[in-house]
Amino acid sequence: MTTREAFLAKVRQAQPPGRPRPEVPRFDSAGGDLRARFAAALQAMGGSCIEAACASDVSGLIRERFGAGASIASAIPELQGTRVLTADTEPASLQDVDVGVVRARFGVAETGSVWLSEREYVVNALGYIVQHLVVLLDPAQLLDGLQDVYLRDDFRDARYAALVTGPSATADIEGVLIRGAQGVRSLTVVWVAA
């Protein structure tokens, strides 16, 4: 037995017994139109929402918004990117990509967040290393609040997941806000049915 194997065996032996997850409380809904609440919360965090008739219209929206020469890595079959994206794609190879495109499994109206897992990203770095992230979201897949996320099977089954709310941002002690400091500079949610 190697030192590594011996160490891991000791860690496994020291694990506390499993126990059921606590019951997630149900909170009253804030009410109102979920889509309007989502858009307002996302906008407050620096993101934006736009409408598309179908997924094939997204490439035109990207060219209009980011320029015809923008490099695109698409994790959705409906949109061909300028970069091929597969599970074998080296994450660092995305460092010069302008626009990443994904489809969120669902959104949360309370916070304006979209839920993305390893399945949606294909390469996890896609959501953090590109300059701009475009997220397709079916308006029928909006949840009311964060507590609803924890009740979903896809939340429990994902190896990795992130609730993304707007572009990356930071502010110094004087309150100067900088977008894109540690991640994407912009986040655009495109309303389009799945």
CB 1 within 8 A of CB 9: yes
Residue type, 3: T
Residue at 11 is within a domain: no
The domain that holds 72 is classified in CATH as 3.40.50.10420
Interval 17-46 mean pLDDT:
89
What's the pLDDT at 66? 95
Tens of pLDDT, residues 153-191: 988 889 889 999 988 888 877 778 777 777 899 999 999
Is residue 123 domain-resident?
yes
**Does 25 map to a domain?**
no
For the purposes of burial, counting CB atoms within 10 Å of the CB of 172, is it exposed (0-12), middle (13-18) or buried (19 or more)? exposed
Q: Is residue 40 part of a domain?
A: yes
Residues 6+ apart with CB under 8 A from 78: 55, 56, 58
Q: How many residues would you count in the chain?
A: 194
pTM: 0.85
Whole-number Å distance between alpha carbons of 168 and 162: 13
- Considering the domain boundaries, does residue 27 fall inside one? no
Helix (H, G, I), strand (E, B) or coil at 135: strand
pLDDT for residue 72:
96
**Number of domains into which the chain is organized:** 1
pLDDT of residue 55: 86
- Of 33-37, 69-73, 139-143, 176-180, the poorest mean pLDDT is in 176-180
User: Using one digit for the tens of pLDDT, what is the confidence trace for 3-18?
Assistant: 999 999 999 999 998 8
Report the chain's mean pLDDT, rounded to a whole number: 91
Q: Round to the nearest angstrom and report the end-to-end CA distance of the chain.
A: 51
Closest CA to 109 of 159, 173, 165, 152: 165
Q: Is residue 8 part of a domain?
A: no
Quote the CA–CA distance of 124 and 133 in Å, as a whole number: 13
3-state secondary structure 14-28: CCCCCCCCCCCCCCC
The answer to whether residue 22 is domain-embedded is no
Which pLDDT belongs to residue 92? Answer: 94
Residue 115 resides in a domain:
yes
* Rounded CA separation 154/77 (Å): 20
Domain span at residue 166 reads 32-191
